[in-house]
């Protein structure tokens, strides 16, 4: 029992099933990440701002901003002369901890190029397959996976740096949404890696029997992968540049 138009295109729509399916799925993903970005806007608008009451407090604040490392220790050691409420306000004001993001900004920028490169290798994989070069396809898929894993490794460094500084999701709303959105994006990268691993190790049979069907699957995976890349293209400026 064969499902029609799984590989060949239906004449009146010009699509095969997988391609339509993946575009619909991406539409729902747009709604997901769109909702998340909208929440970012809400949280940022709702965040309080801290205005130092006097000259001395302004100076303390500037010292803390200038040297954001071990912020928690500095603010909690009792010598900062900040009141409890002011302390909480500083923690909650949106831009305060962006100093923490700065050391890892170049890591994040590297990640951006890593993902863009992985999108390129993904297309090369599909193109190689369409040009009947299975060996090159395997190489490019392996490269895509390697770049994706590089992304995850760099991300792990970033997260660890923050945890080391005492920054967790519960620290402030800014970090709550930062960790949630980048984490969810990371999960999507992992999902893509799983599919790519399947396409790397288990595609030989289908390549021999139904190469067009395999090419269709690779194309759909590529569409998904480009979407994941696109989400990062939005995440990076919003979290690392717009602050």
Partner 1 sequence: MSEAESGASTPGEHHDPDSHDPDGHGRHDEHAHHDEGFVKKYIFSCDHKIIGIQYGITALLFLAFGFSLMLLMRWSMAYPDEEITILGLGKLLWPDTGGKMSEDVYNQFGAMHGTIMVFMGVVPLAVGAFGNYFVPLQIGAVDMAFPRLNMSSSWAFFGGCVVMLTSFFLEGGPAQSGWTSYAPLSVTAAGSGQTFWLVGMILLITSSLLGSVNFIVTIIQLRAPGLTFMRLPFFVWAQLVTAFLLLLAFPPLEAAGIFQLMDRVAGTSFFMPEGLMLSGSLFSFGGEPIAGHGSPLLWQHLFWFLAHPEVYVLILPALGIVAEVVANNTRKPLFGYKSLVYSLIFLGFMSFIVWAHHMFLTGMGTTISSFFQTTTMIISIPSVVILTALFLSLWGGSIRFNTPMLFALGFLPMFGIGGLTGLPLGLTGADIHLHDSYYVIGHFHYVVAPGTIIALFAGIYYWFPKMTGRKMNEILGKLHFAGTFLCMNGIFFPMLIQGLAGVSRRLADGGATYAHAQPYLYLNKVMTHSAWALAAFQLVFIVNFVWSYFAGRKVSANHWEATTVEWSACPSPPIGHGNFPDGRVPVFHRGPYEYSVPGQDKDYTPQDERLEPEPQSVAAASPAGETPGGEEGSN
Note the residues at the interface with partner 1 (CB under 8 A): 1-8, 10-13, 15-17, 20-21, 24-25, 27-29, 31-32, 35-36, 39, 42-43, 46-48, 88, 91-92, 168-173, 176-177, 180, 184, 206, 209-213
As measured in angstroms, the least distance from the Cβ of 88 to partner 1 is 8
As measured in angstroms, the least distance from the Cβ of 101 to partner 1 is 17
Cα(140)–Cα(121) distance, rounded to whole angstroms?
Answer: 5
The residue among 42 and 113 lying less far from partner 1, judged by its C-beta, is 42
The residue among 177 and 199 lying less far from partner 1, judged by its C-beta, is 177
As measured in angstroms, the least distance from the Cβ of 173 to partner 1 is 6
The residue among 51 and 59 lying less far from partner 1, judged by its C-beta, is 51
Cα(63)–Cα(223) distance, rounded to whole angstroms?
Answer: 47
The residue among 31 and 116 lying less far from partner 1, judged by its C-beta, is 31
Cα(210)–Cα(230) distance, rounded to whole angstroms?
Answer: 31
As measured in angstroms, the least distance from the Cβ of 157 to partner 1 is 21
As measured in angstroms, the least distance from the Cβ of 121 to partner 1 is 27
The residue among 4 and 78 lying less far from partner 1, judged by its C-beta, is 4
Handedness of CA 219, 220, 221, 224 (dihedral sign): positive
- Token pair 């900062």 is found at 80
Contacts of 13 (CB under 8 A, 6+ apart): 20
Query: Could you tell me the end-to-end alpha-carbon distance of the chain, in angstroms, rounded to an integer?
Result: 56
Cα(125)–Cα(128) distance, rounded to whole angstroms?
Answer: 5
Cα(78)–Cα(103) distance, rounded to whole angstroms?
Answer: 27
State residue 123 phi and psi, 5-degree precision. Answer: -65, -40
The residue among 12 and 55 lying less far from partner 1, judged by its C-beta, is 12
As measured in angstroms, the least distance from the Cβ of 8 to partner 1 is 5
């Amino acid at each position: 029992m064969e499902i029609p138009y799984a590989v060949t295109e239906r004449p009146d729509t010009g699509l095969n099933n997988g391609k339509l399916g993946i575009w619909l799925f991406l539409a729902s993903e747009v709604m997901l990440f769109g909702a998340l970005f909208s929440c970012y806007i809400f949280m940022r608008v709702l965040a309080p701002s801290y205005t130092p009451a006097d000259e001395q407090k302004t100076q303390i604040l500037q010292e803390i901003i200038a040297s954001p490392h071990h912020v928690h220790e500095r603010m909690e050691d009792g010598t900062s002369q900040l009141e409890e409420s002011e302390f909480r306000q500083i923690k909650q004001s949106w831009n305060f901890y962006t100093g923490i993001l700065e050391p890892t900004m170049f890591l994040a920028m590297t990640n951006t190029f890593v993902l863009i490169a992985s999108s390129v290798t993904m297309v090369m994989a599909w193109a190689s397959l369409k040009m009947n070069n299975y060996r090159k396809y395997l190489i490019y898929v392996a490269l895509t996976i390697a770049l994706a894993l590089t992304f995850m490794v760099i991300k792990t460094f970033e997260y660890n740096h923050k945890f080391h500084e005492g920054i967790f999701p519960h620290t402030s709303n800014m970090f709550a949404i930062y960790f949630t959105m980048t984490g969810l994006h990371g999960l999507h990268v992992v999902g893509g890696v799983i599919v790519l691993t399947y396409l790397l190790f288990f595609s030989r049979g289908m390549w021999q029997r139904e190469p067009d069907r395999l090419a269709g699957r690779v194309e759909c995976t590529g569409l998904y992968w480009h979407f994941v890349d696109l989400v990062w293209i939005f995440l990076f400026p919003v979290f690392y540049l717009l602050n």
